[in-house]
Amino acid sequence: MYHLARISIQNWGIFSSIDIDVRGSTALVGGSGTGKSTVQDAVQVVMAGADTSNLRLDYGAARGSVRTILGYCLGQSDQTDAGSSLREKCETLLALVFEHDGTREPLTVGIVLSARQEDREEVVISRFIAPAVSFSFADLVERATVNGDSSSWSDIKRALQAKSPAFEDFDSADSYVEGMLQRMFEADQGVDTKRLRKLFKHGLAFSPISDPTRFIREIVLDQDDLDAEWATVPEPHGEDGRGIEEASALLVKIGTRVFDAKRRLTDINARLADHRINGRTYTITSSVFPRFQRIYDLSMKAHERVEGRGATLEVGDLKEAQEQILRLGDVVPHFGPTIDYREILSFDIVITDADGRRTTASGRRTICSSGEALEPFYVILAATLSSTYFRQHLNGPGDGMGFLMLDSPFTRLDASSARTMMKLYRDLKLQTMVTALEDNGTSLPEMFDSVVFVGQPVDVGTA
């Protein structure tokens, strides 16, 4: 397993140059405005490959406070005057060093950005991976002092290439994230990078589960709109067979997507089956909305036929499916040229206590700051992320990487819930990083492997 060991930041927010060593689960602690979220967002940008569609920068900031990559590079913040910056132009380097638990082999991944005040957005100069290199600005400063080297990216890149013959540069965020995971995971793991980046973003945007169906749809399952434009045309179908053929093809797609979704939920439930959080267990359940029952039955029949496990669909079945799909426009207000397979199912989270009493997240419908209300979000998110990182079973070989970042709402859990949650994350092989206000710092050392106090006048380290 690879674990994050160091965060290196240059020209990012209030930091000019800093190395932050971490160990295992980590709490970033500090008062308001000290740079906790600045560090966390630097990690987020590197993990996402600077793909802005998968970023939620400083999600916990006050309303009206908008963070951007360009603003971070130039040093714009709530502490600077409106329109002013700490830097007129700069090269920003953000690097993460991961280390393998068994071999101690390092792996550095990073993003290099160019920013100028007159530009509307930053420019990505490099998305890089440097195997067998443990990057740090401290080493750069020492080398510059001895050899007179500069610390521009061109010089840094040459130094990295000299140390790492397998150094790689990537043109896109997708290829970069895929390359990073391929370096850490076995080739047959097949980590879904799009799903991973989505879940990573949601970890920083906590929201209590008031609607389990919406939560499962948006966070656990993948959106996949299926083409149904033909069904919105108010023309008779079927005389030439076209409508029936399209209905058949759509049924197969719906059946495949629903089958995969159910299999995914089964895997998540299996990962949680042996875990109790304050005596409670959590299970995701699904059911079919009555108005979609017949389409569901026909789509599953079509899926089984394609898999070679079911009987051939009769013409009557296809005509019925065609009619059912055509009627969706009358039943579903926003029905249009696409169908989202997730809308066929409703979801809930069953919570079973130590005495066997069962409640559901939808039945409680309470939103508060108590640990019991916060737990479902963090439990299901972690199990979903673990399922994405480790598609094979958790008891397999110790390769790969599991990393999760959470914002300050996590620290509002009561101490018992937080300790139990951290044990769950460790069991799911997730290295966790959480931001916390300084007032909460006194109870954190017993829960986390390292505590980093952000905002110190010197380079910070671990407790």
| DSSP per residue, 52-109 | GGG--TTTTSPTT----HHHHHHT--TTSPTT--S-SEEEEEEEEEEEETTT--EEEE
121 with 169, same domain: the answer is: yes
Region 458-463: what's the mean pLDDT?
35
Q: Is 182 exposed, middle or buried (0-12, 13-18, 19+ CB in 10 A)?
A: middle
- Report yes or no on 122 lying in a domain: yes
128 with 199, same domain: the answer is: yes
Task: Say which residue, 197 or 104, is predicted with more confidence.
Answer: 104
- Report yes or no on 418 lying in a domain: yes
AA letter at 286 = S
User: Domain with 140 in it: what CATH number?
Assistant: 3.40.1140.10
Collect all residues with Cβ–Cβ distance below 8 Å to 396 and sequence separation of at least 6: 390
Q: What is the pLDDT of residue 85?
A: 85
- pLDDT of 243 over the 90 cut: no
Among 346, 362, 377, the domain-final residue is: 346
Give the residue from 296, 292, 303, 297 showing the smallest Cα distance to 249.
303
Task: Say which residue, 217 or 209, is predicted with more confidence.
Answer: 217
182 with 249, same domain: the answer is: no
240 with 330, same domain: the answer is: yes
With a pLDDT cut of 70, the percent of the chain lying above it is 74
Contact 278, 417 (CB under 8 A): yes
AA letter at 325 = I
- Report yes or no on 461 lying in a domain: no
For residue 277, what is the DSSP state? B
List beta partners, residue 15. Answer: 12
67 with 183, same domain: the answer is: yes
Q: What is the pLDDT of residue 186?
A: 64
Region 45-73: what's the mean pLDDT?
79
112 with 234, same domain: the answer is: no
- Report yes or no on 387 lying in a domain: no
Q: How confident is the model at residue 197 (pLDDT cuts 50, 70, 90)?
A: confident
Buried residues in 9-30 as b, exposed as e (16+ CB within 10 A): bbbbbbbebbbbbbbebbbbbb
Which range scores top for mean pLDDT: 230-239, 382-391, 394-403?
Answer: 382-391
- Report yes or no on 357 lying in a domain: no
163 with 193, same domain: the answer is: yes
Among 346, 363, 385, the domain-final residue is: 346
| Structural domain containing residue 14 | 2-206+395-453
Q: What is the pLDDT of residue 368?
A: 45
Region 274-280: what's the mean pLDDT?
87
113 with 96, same domain: the answer is: yes
Low-confidence winner among 47-56, 176-185, 205-214, 380-389 (lowest mean pLDDT)? 205-214
Q: What is the pLDDT of residue 224?
A: 76
| DSSP per residue, 208-230 | --S-HHHHIIIIISPP-EEE-GG
- pLDDT of 382 over the 70 cut: yes
- Report yes or no on 382 lying in a domain: no
Quote the CA–CA distance of 462 and 185 in Å, as a whole number.
27
- Report yes or no on 379 lying in a domain: no
Give the count of domains, the chain.
Answer: 2
Quote the CA–CA distance of 404 and 449 in Å, as a whole number.
15
pLDDT in tens, 94-152: 999 999 988 999 999 999 999 999 998 999 999 999 999 999 988 876 665 455 555 78
Q: What is the pLDDT of residue 202?
A: 76
177 with 293, same domain: the answer is: no
- Report yes or no on 129 lying in a domain: yes
